[in-house]
Amino acid sequence: MIIGRVIGTIVSNAKEPKYEGYKLLVVKEMNVYGEYEKNFYIAADLIGSGIDEVVMLVTGAAARGSVETNEKGIDAVITAKIEKVFIDGKEIIF
């Protein structure tokens, strides 16, 4: 899975019917030390994420295995908010 911060939203009116009811968010990838990586992800939000929150993404076909997106043509979903990360015994503050 991937960690990142929610930095934006996508507005789309002409889209596949299966997307109805999903918020599409822009997530900037972070490493486990809370530093930004260069990648951006557009992901469907399953847990009510807000701008600036640090979240966990599932990507690829596994994104379809989540509770609500089964078989919906979605390749990235936000499935959790990150509270804390402990690396080598130290707490990382995002």
Q: How many Å is the Cα radius of gyration of the chain? A: 14
Whole-angstrom Cα distance, residue 61 to residue 73? 9
Whole-angstrom Cα distance, residue 64 to residue 30? 23
Q: How far is the CB of 64 from a copy of itself (least distance, A)?
A: 5
By the 10 Å C-beta count (0-12 exposed, 13-18 middle, 19+ buried), 29 is classed as middle
Site string for a copy of itself, 22-61 (x = CB under 8 A): --x-x----xx-------xxxx--xxx--x----x-xxxx
Q: How far is the CB of 72 from a copy of itself (least distance, A)?
A: 6
Residue numbers at the binding site for a copy of itself (CB under 8 A): 1-3, 7-19, 24, 26, 31-32, 40-43, 46-48, 51, 56, 58-67, 69-77, 79-89
